[in-house]
Amino acid sequence: MAYVRIWIQCVWGTKNREASLTQDSTEVIIEHIREQAQNKSIYIDFINGWKDHMHCIISLSHDQNISKVMNLIKGESSFWINKTNIMRTKFEWADEYFAVSISGS
């Protein structure tokens, strides 16, 4: 079995960079993203957010790519946020994201 450890820092924002994330909602969303990532074998080392964006450090395995991982994280979390009515209005992440490789140290 291949051993692959690729560290990626990812940042993605809310649609139109609206400051729609509160401290309480961010904590709940982070917990949900961590749980869902674990269920999908996505390793998140660190995740945090602010009013209009989230950022995390993930480790890609041998069968993952950044596009697939980001689509899973963003798509599933926005669906869940709207389904559970955490936000007062319809919630969307922006289509774009930032991803850069980082050192394991």
| Per-residue model confidence (pLDDT) at position 1 | 67
Question: pTM of the predicted model, to two decimals?
Answer: 0.89
CA angle 65, 26, 12 (to 5 degrees): 35
Burial class of 34 by CB neighbour count within 10 A (0 to 12, 13 to 18, 19+) = middle
Each residue's pLDDT tens digit in the chain (105 positions)?
678 788 999 999 999 999 999 999 999 999 999 999 999 999 999 999 999 999 999 998 888 999 999 999 999 999 999 999 988 889 999 999 999 999 877
For 6-101, the fitting CATH number among 2.40.110.10, 3.90.700.10, 3.30.70.1290, 3.40.50.720 is 3.30.70.1290
* Residue 72 one-letter amino acid: L
| Per-residue model confidence (pLDDT) at position 47 | 97
